[in-house]
Amino acid sequence: MLSPTRWFGARGRDRERASSSAALSLPATLTPRWKMTVKLVVFVALGALAGFAYHKLVGCRTGACPITANPWISTVYGAVMGFLLSGGIR
């Protein structure tokens, strides 16, 4: 468990000693759960971005394409693909 001074900075006489380290730094070692969460968020965000980019760059002018005709649907579809590529929730 991390002490509050690690996250919010040192108080009083410890301030000079801790001034060289960052006040709001993440722990040096991330737990496997955090790593999995960060990986999941990154993959979903990149998938959503790819889905939106696919809509903008390729798209469907006639509106007959069910996925690329609507930017919301293509973005959600990309996010779901990113979720699946990340390995999902274990």
Regarding whether 62 and 19 lie in a shared domain, the answer is: no
pLDDT at site 34: 84
- Which residue range(s) make up the domain with 3? 1-28
pLDDT tens track, the chain, 90 positions: 555 555 555 555 555 555 555 555 656 676 878 888 888 999 999 999 999 999 999 888 887 888 888 899 999 999 999 999 998 776
Q: How many distinct structural domains can be found in the chain?
A: 2
Regarding whether 74 and 40 lie in a shared domain, the answer is: yes
pLDDT at site 41: 93
11, with CB counted inside 10 A (0-12, 13-18, 19+), is exposed
The rounded distance, in Å, linking the Cα atoms of 3 and 23 is 12
pLDDT at site 28: 65
pLDDT at site 66: 87
The rounded distance, in Å, linking the Cα atoms of 47 and 81 is 6
pLDDT at site 10: 53
Rounded to a whole number of angstroms, the distance between the first and last alpha carbons of the chain is 24
**Largest interatomic CA distance in the chain:** 69
**Rounded to 10 degrees, what is the CA torsion of 7, 10, 15, 19?**
-10
Regarding whether 56 and 13 lie in a shared domain, the answer is: no
The answer to whether the CB of 9 falls within 8 A of the CB of 15 is yes
pLDDT at site 69: 86
Regarding whether 35 and 23 lie in a shared domain, the answer is: no
Regarding whether 22 and 5 lie in a shared domain, the answer is: yes
